[in-house]
Amino acid sequence: MELYPAIDLRGGRAVRLQQGDYARETVYGDDPVAVAESFAAAGAHWIHVVDLDAARDGGAANLPVVAAICAAVPECSVQTGGGVRDAAAAQARLDAGVARVVIGSAAVEHPEVVAEVATAHPSAVAVGLDVRGREVATHGWTRGTGLDLFAVLGELADAGAAAAVVTQIAVDGMLSGPDLSLYEALLDATAIPVIASGGIGELVHMHELGALRSRDGSRTLSGAIAGKAIYEGRFTVAEGVAACTP
């Protein structure tokens, strides 16, 4: 399992939202590039970057910042999402230097976008699935779809998704612990790599996620995204990376 320290961008700054609410924003830094450099120096292999402005409004408001992060940390792979609604938007992020794009609402509504990007760039597209319980939500968590996570993930795996970032909305930003039962079930439900997101607040949560196995013991989580816990000093990136090492 890899630690994915997160940088959420809004107005060019590194911020965090509580449960996706733009009205509940905490600013953690005016220089996201410096934040990324600190993550790389601490041993992170991946950095997860979300353009919150693009996620809400479309476009690519923070794409220059994403490109600057990629250029500043060539030793890291950068995964980015937010506002990736078609193949052209995905290509723009890849041209900026990211290793993998995350397609969220568009993947649920238009799986053919995933297939188009995956055909051109195998292994470079992940899907971002946000859930309440097991129901997939879209458009910044504002719309319930009535769709079951496991059914949607099966369809997107067939479309060529190379990984799935699965966020449990109920615990995101709350630091209260991840939905372990959800991720344990996912290890048996899909063959594609699963990255856990939401709820990590202590180093023990990283250990708990890292200990999850499929029933046959052959699969573990591919990664875990942590943001607020790192920014608030619950644990360091170096400690999180070490927790991922068997």
Q: Is 172 a catalytic residue?
A: no
Cα torsion 135, 139, 143, 148 to 10°: value is -20
Within a 13 Å sphere around the CA of 5, how many CA atoms are in the beta-carbon half? 27
Residue 117 CA to residue 91 CA, distance in Å, equals 8
Comparing CA positions, the residue from 214, 166, 160 lying closest to residue 48 is 166
Contact 103, 125 (CB under 8 A): yes
DSSP 67-104: HHHHHH-TTSEEEEESS--SHHHHHHHHHTT-SEEEE-
Say which of 8, 51, 53, 172 is annotated catalytic.
Answer: 8
Say which of 51, 53, 130, 179 is annotated catalytic.
Answer: 130
Residue 124 CA to residue 160 CA, distance in Å, equals 10
Residue 138 CA to residue 144 CA, distance in Å, equals 7
Q: Is 21 a catalytic residue?
A: no
Comparing CA positions, the residue from 189, 192, 212, 209 lying closest to residue 201 is 209
The catalytic site residues sit at 8, 130
